[in-house]
Amino acid sequence: MSGTNWDHELDARGLLCPLPVLKARKRLQALAPGAVLRMLADDPAAVIDVPHFCAEAGHTLVDTAEEDNAQVYLIRKA
């Protein structure tokens, strides 16, 4: 993962599509523009859903990684 720090974390492990993205959307609404959300998800569909959500909503997908059998996404709020 890049050296990017994050402001908030969302553990969406165990949740299936579309819940990880819906929870990320709700959490991001409460954050200030430029804030970074670190989201963990283990739903196989998240690798498609999260980048698509970021592109549609105008957020920046800063980085992705694999950690403890989960995907990690760093999302910067638009």
Cα distances (Å, whole numbers) of residue 31 to 24, 46, 47, 73: 11, 21, 23, 16
pLDDT digits (tens, 9 = 90+) for 23-34: 999 999 999 999
Predicted TM-score (pTM) of this structure: 0.94
Point out which residues pair with 60 in neighbouring strands: 76
- pLDDT (tens digit per residue) in 54-76: 999 999 999 999 998 999 999 99
What's at 43, amino acid-wise?
D
Is the preceding peptide bond at 33 cis, omega within 30 degrees of 0? no
Peptide bond connecting 18 to the previous residue in cis, omega within 30 degrees of 0 = yes
- Residues marked active site are found at 17
